[in-house]
A = this chain, B = another copy of it.
Amino acid sequence: MKALETDQPKTIIDIARLAGVSKSTVSRVLNNKGYVSEKSREKVLTVVESTGFMLNEAAKTLKTQKQDTIAVIIPRIESQSVSKMVQGINNALVGTNTNIVLGITNLDREKELYYLQYFSQQAVQGIIFMARTISKDHEAIIHKSQVPIIVLAQKTTITSSVSFDEVGAAKQVAQAMMNKHTTVGYVGVSTDDYAIGIERLAGVQAVAKEYGQEVVLELGGFKSQDGYEATKRLFARKPHLTAIIAATDSIAIGVITYLRERNITIGSDVAVAGFGDSQFAQLLQPQLASVYYPYVDAGEQAVKTLLAKNEQHHVLATQFITRASCE
Complex: A160 Cα to B240 Cα, angstroms: 59
Report A1-42 residues with CB < 8 Å from chain B CB: 8
Report A219-261 residues with CB < 8 Å from chain B CB: 253
Q: Are B117 and A52 touching (Cβ within 8 A)?
A: yes
Q: Let me know if A107 is at the binding interface, CB within 8 A.
A: no
Q: Are A54 and B121 touching (Cβ within 8 A)?
A: yes
Which residue of chain B is the closest to A62 with respect to CB atoms?
Answer: B58
Q: Which of B78, B86, B103, B106 contacts A99 (CB 8 A)?
A: B103
Which residue of chain B is the closest to A79 with respect to CB atoms?
Answer: B83
Q: Let me know if A211 is at the binding interface, CB within 8 A.
A: no
Hey, which chain B residues are within 8 Å of A77, CB to CB?
77, 83, 86-87, 90
| Distance of A95 from chain B, by nearest CB (Å) | 11
Q: Are B84 and A78 touching (Cβ within 8 A)?
A: yes
Q: Are A78 and B78 touching (Cβ within 8 A)?
A: no
| Distance of A174 from chain B, by nearest CB (Å) | 25
Stretch of A125-133, A198-206, A280-288, A306-314 at the chain-chain interface: A280-288
Q: Are B86 and A78 touching (Cβ within 8 A)?
A: yes
Q: Let me know if A321 is at the binding interface, CB within 8 A.
A: no
Report A97-153 residues with CB < 8 Å from chain B CB: 99-104, 106, 117-118, 121-123, 141, 144
Known: A52-B144, A57-B58. 5 other contacts (CB 8 A): A58-B123, A77-B87, A77-B90, A99-B101, A279-B280
